[in-house]
Amino acid sequence: MPTVELTKRFRFEASHVLRNPEWNDEKNYEVFGKCARPNGHGHNYELFVTVRGEVNPDDGMLFELKQLKDLVNTHLIDKVDHFHLNHDVEFLDGIIPTAENLAIAFYHQLEHVLPDVLYEVRLLETENNWAVYRGKE
């Protein structure tokens, strides 16, 4: 059977602050600009989760979309939606929540519930910037 990629989009809202605790305010503002403001800011994120594999000849599907939706919501979206990523999300503790770091962390949150099929996590922070992580290729 040919290999197919199947992607589902998710949306969530969250706030964050981009700051390195090892740096002083001047350095944080120099690197992160207004994103380093102590009270933070929010985004309307879009997350694209892609699974990859062979189509099952019995049902014509790679992965059942409702199951994918339920797994991603339970193991990721419900843990980040309407939370402050720096303060409220245990699996992000100690991580500067840039789009790049979030894509990596989100992939790791999902890889144990989508073994052998998780291919890519694409996180859009805005319509103009996003990060993609495909695990250890």
- Catalytic machinery residues: 35, 82, 125
Q: Are residues 106 and 118 in contact, defined by beta-carbon separation less than 8 angstroms?
A: no
Give the span between the Cα atoms of 19 and 37, in whole angstroms: 8
The strand pairing partners of 43, in sequence order, are 14
Give the span between the Cα atoms of 56 and 62, in whole angstroms: 6
Q: Residue 98's closest CA among 25, 52, 45, 55?
A: 45
- DSSP summary character for residue 73: I
